Amino acid sequence: MTALEGFSPVARGLIVAAAAAIVVISVEVAAAIVAPILLAAFVAVIASSPLRWMQGRGVLKLIALGLIVFVLLDVGSIVALISTGALEGLRDSLPGYQERLILLSEEFGG
């Protein structure tokens, strides 16, 4: 804080606010790269507790890591499979639903 001591309290507040604004805006501009890294960090935080647990039971680190990656990939691909399959089905039956929606809106809105 010594560098800011020559300023009045108002000016000090403004300087701090400006610094905070610069940080926030840079994060927003860099969101495309910051967001995946943050997401990865949170997944890593979650995954670190089973990793530690397995290592505590004498499982080799690489094997434990491989298991975690396997589980993550599995969960990801299952979710992907379910959602893409269902989304495709949804797309195929969409015209029917659309017709029905138009019918409904005519019935009630007309």
Partner 1 sequence: LERVGVQNASEATTDILDPAVVTALVRAALANVGSVFASGLLILLTVVFMLLEAPGMLAKLRAAFRLEAASEARVKRLFSSLNQYMRIKILTSLGTAVCIWIWLWFLGIDFAVLWAVLAFFLNFIPFVGAFLMAIPAVLMALVQTDLATTLLVAAGYLVVNTAIGSVLEPRVMGRGLGISTLAVFLSLLFWSWVLGTVGAFLSVPLTMALIIAFEASPQTRPIAVLLGPEVSPTESSGDE
In the complex, the residues that contact partner 1 under the rule CB under 8 A are: 1, 24, 27-28, 31, 34-49, 51, 55, 61, 65, 68-69, 72-73, 76, 79-80, 82-84, 86-91, 93-94, 97-98, 100-102, 104-105, 108-109
Q: How far apart (Å, rounded) are the C-alpha atoms in residues 28 and 42? A: 19
Q: Choose between 11 and 94: whose C-beta lies nearer to partner 1.
A: 94
Query: Between residues 60 and 82, which has the closer beta carbon with respect to partner 1?
Result: 82
Rounded CA-CA distance 51/68 in Å is 7
Least Å distance, CB 27 to partner 1, is 6
Alpha helices in the chain (DSSP H): 9-29, 31-56, 61-92, 94-109
Q: And the tokens for 3?
A: 């560098």
Closest CB to partner 1 among 58 and 108? Answer: 108
- Select from 47, 85, 54, 88 the least CA-distant residue to 69: 47
Question: Which lies closer to partner 1 via its Cβ, residue 11 or residue 102?
Answer: 102
Q: What is the DSSP letter of 7?
A: S
In whole angstroms, how close is the CB of 10 to partner 1 at the nearest point?
16
* Residue 68: count of CB within 10 angstroms of its CB: 18
Smallest separation (angstroms) from partner 1 to the CB of 17 = 12
